[in-house]
Amino acid sequence: MTRYLRLANVVKSYDGKINAVDDISIDVARGEFVTFLGPSGSGKTTTLMMIAGFENPTSGAIALDGRDLALSKPYQRNIGMVFQNYALFPHMTAQDNVLFPLKMRRFPRREMATRAQKMLALVGLSRFADRYPRELSGGQQQRVALARGLVFDPDVVLLDEPLGALDKNLREQMQVEIKRIHRELGITMIYVTHDQTEAMTMSDRVAVFSNGRLAQVGTPLDVYHRPSSRFVGEFIGDSNFFVGAIEASRPGIVELTGIGPVRVENKNAPAGEVDVLIRPERLRLFQSNEDNTFEMTVDDVINYGDSALALGTTHGLPLRARIPGVKPDALRPGANLRLFWSPGDAHVLPRR
């Protein structure tokens, strides 16, 4: 990967005692879409603010295309910023809001109008150029904010939970729009969210934050199917975790506590205590001659239409199974299901 934006051992402390961001290192390629994902207080927004220049690192380095950003003020970094609350000027029309960063950078007057019109067309708002923010919907206001962050050809665009104020349908629509714009422009984007669905559907790579540190960086499928820790496995997607142990003489067998032996394909997993992750959608109704079978007692059911999520227990342990195309009466509370999962469906982690 060609290094473009680089964070090296970045630390941020506000009181000199506790690190809000603790030794963060990550390289972002030119044109890449990277999402900073994590719960509130995990350090993702603080890291974004340091890239933008609104916060200064306590230690470490941030460089963009070989330039040390510590030597530049925020307005000198050529970085676009899109906020959750839009931050539009209410007394300016949509077009004037988009023109504002061009005026601040003293672009030629003739070029400014052309750029603003092009950006409004890119986000589908040409017809709304003369409207004020109060005359626009939330989704339209967010499009104006996105156009404003892109109009001056920034080297990087930073998006701080930009869709958090939108309803579900608008949020999904804007996810598609942002990815389309990213593909068309090929611009580097850093996106901050606590919404795992956004991270999974939009990103080239996901950086998972936990307590100010990077828990894992990888493609969406990597962090979903092969999480590096129990925290990542539980934070991203729905999960079943079981505690077990592997004997060195039986590398393909995990003795699950309270359940018994099961087969896994993680034959390189170290001997000793392990956590075993099985995603609910990997559990299937038993057919015949299957590995890893067990009984589930259903306590409750959530119906999604195309599938149903059964909540219950096996051997007294909590279990979640997402089953497609099953008849509703087969999953009533109190029902007993016989389920199985294939050895390759498990992900084994050493217990920490």
pLDDT at 267 over 90: no
Q: Express each pLDDT in 8-46 by its tens digit.
A: 999 999 998 999 999 999 999 999 999 999 999 999 999
- Residue 243, judged by CB atoms within 10 A of its CB (0-12, 13-18, 19+), counts as middle
Angle ∠(268,270,271) on CA atoms, nearest 5: 125
pLDDT at 306: 80
Residue 30 to residue 21: CA distance in whole angstroms: 24
pLDDT at 1 over 60: no
pLDDT at 329: 66
pLDDT at 266: 66
Residue 21 to residue 261: CA distance in whole angstroms: 41
CATH of 5-230, one of 3.40.190.170, 3.40.50.970, 3.30.365.10, 3.40.50.300: 3.40.50.300
Residue, of 188 and 250, whose pLDDT is higher: 188
Confidence class for position 86, pLDDT limits 50, 70, 90: confident
pLDDT at 189: 97
Q: Express each pLDDT in 286-302 by its tens digit.
A: 877 777 888 999 999 99
Residue 77 to residue 68: CA distance in whole angstroms: 10
Residue 277 to residue 233: CA distance in whole angstroms: 7
What does the block give as tokens for 193? 């969210």
CB 19 within 8 A of CB 11: yes
pLDDT at 286: 84
Domain boundaries along the sequence of the chain: 5-230, 238-350
Q: Under CATH, to which class is 238-350 assigned?
A: mainly beta
Which residues, listed in sequence order, are joined to residue 308 by a DSSP beta bridge? 303, 323
Q: Is 175 strand, coil or helix?
A: helix
- If you average pLDDT over residues 316-327, what whole number do you get? 88
Residue 158 to residue 52: CA distance in whole angstroms: 8
Question: In three state form, how does the secondary structure of 223-244 look?
Answer: HHHCCCCHHHHHHCCCCEEEEE
Percent of the chain at pLDDT exceeding 70: 97
What does the block give as tokens for 288? 């015949």
CA distances to 246, 258, 288 from 254, rounded to whole Å, are 5, 12, 22
E strand or H helix at 120: helix 109-122
Phi, psi for 245 (deg, rounded to 5): -145, 145
Average pLDDT value over all residues in the chain: 91
pLDDT at 85: 82
Residue 312 to residue 325: CA distance in whole angstroms: 19
Percent of the chain at pLDDT exceeding 90: 73
Q: Is 312 strand, coil or helix?
A: strand
Residue 254 to residue 256: CA distance in whole angstroms: 6
pLDDT at 208: 98
Q: Which of 102-116, 246-260, 318-332 has the lowest mean pLDDT?
A: 318-332
Q: Express each pLDDT in 125-176 by its tens digit.
A: 999 999 999 999 988 999 999 999 999 999 999 999 988 877 888 888 889 8
